[in-house]
Structure formats: C-alpha cells, structure tokens
Amino acid sequence: MKVTKAVRETTIDAKGLVLGRMASVVAKRLLNGERINIVNADEAVISGRRLSIIRESREFLQVGHFRKGPSHPRRPDTIVRKVVRGMLPRKKPRGEESLQRLRVYIGIPRELKDNEKETISEADAMNLRGPYIRVSELARSVGWKE
C-alpha cells in the first residue's frame, strides 16, 4: 500500500519578478515536494540590455537541427519552464518528479483565478538598477506569434 503525502499547492504571480531569481526559489521548493503554478509568465523580466539578450537568443536558435534537436522554446511559458528545468537535476528521478509538479501559464487561467497568489520578494524587479526586458518581448523577437 502506497502512502501519499499531502502536497501543498502554491500559485506564484511572476509579474515583475526577475526570471533567474524566481526560478531558483521555485526549483528549491519543487525539490521539497511543493506543487507550484506560475501565472503571468509573460510578465517576468530578464535583467540585461535588451538588444544583447535578443542577439544571444537568436544566436542560440542557430544551434542544432530543426528535426533532430535541440528544440528551442519560443512561447513565454515554455521559456520560463525551461529556465526552471535547468535548475533541477532533471535526469534523476527526484528531478523528474519535481518537474512534473510544475505548471506554467501565460496570464491567469480560470481555474486559478480564485487562488491566493504569492510573490517572491527577493526576486522583485524593483531591486534592479539596470535595464531589463520582459519575457513576452523576448518571445516575440524569437518567433512567438500570439
């Protein structure tokens, strides 16, 4: 008989959060067994100069073959998911299980509208002093069509 733990479910609003800092906190919480929904993934920000971030992303798109891989995410929700995936030990069973507990959404879906949304204070973009770009702007520049 398999015993299941009561899993806590958290909804995180990514609006105005720095992507890397948010992803590191989310990865730790996923490894601890939480189920996490990230909403407004297109409103997260990446710190750095806009043109250099877009140029690096376009150069990365040239790597690989379109049939053989690697596949490059172009939608904001898949970009955020891949950033979090990069911070998990995804080739080990613990990392695979924790990645399955992650859901990322563009905007706020109907079923999560009533949930209490949490934010991560140490990942707030208001603490940034330099330039930044939204994930939605990056996604549009690499080929996302809304």
Q: Is residue 113 part of a domain?
A: yes
Residue 109 lies in a domain: yes
9-44 residue pLDDT tens: 999 999 999 999 999 999 999 999 999 999 999 999
pLDDT by residue for the chain (146 residues), tens digit each? 555 566 789 999 999 999 999 999 999 999 999 999 999 999 999 999 999 999 999 999 999 998 998 989 999 999 999 999 999 999 999 999 999 999 999 999 999 999 999 999 999 999 999 999 999 999 999 999 88
Distances (CA, A) of 118 to 10, 13, 58, 125, 134: 7, 6, 33, 15, 20
Distances (CA, A) of 40 to 4, 13, 60, 92, 125: 30, 6, 25, 29, 14
Whole-model pTM: value is 0.92
The helix/strand/coil state of 94 is: helix
- The CATH number of the domain holding residue 111 is 3.90.1180.10
Helix and strand element counts for the chain (H, E): 5, 6
On whether residue 105 sits in a domain, the answer given is yes
End-to-end, the C-alpha distance of the chain in Å comes to 46
Is 60 within the bounds of a domain? yes
Whether residue 131 is contained in a domain is answered as: yes
Q: Which domain holds residue 97?
A: 9-141
Residue 56 lies in a domain: yes
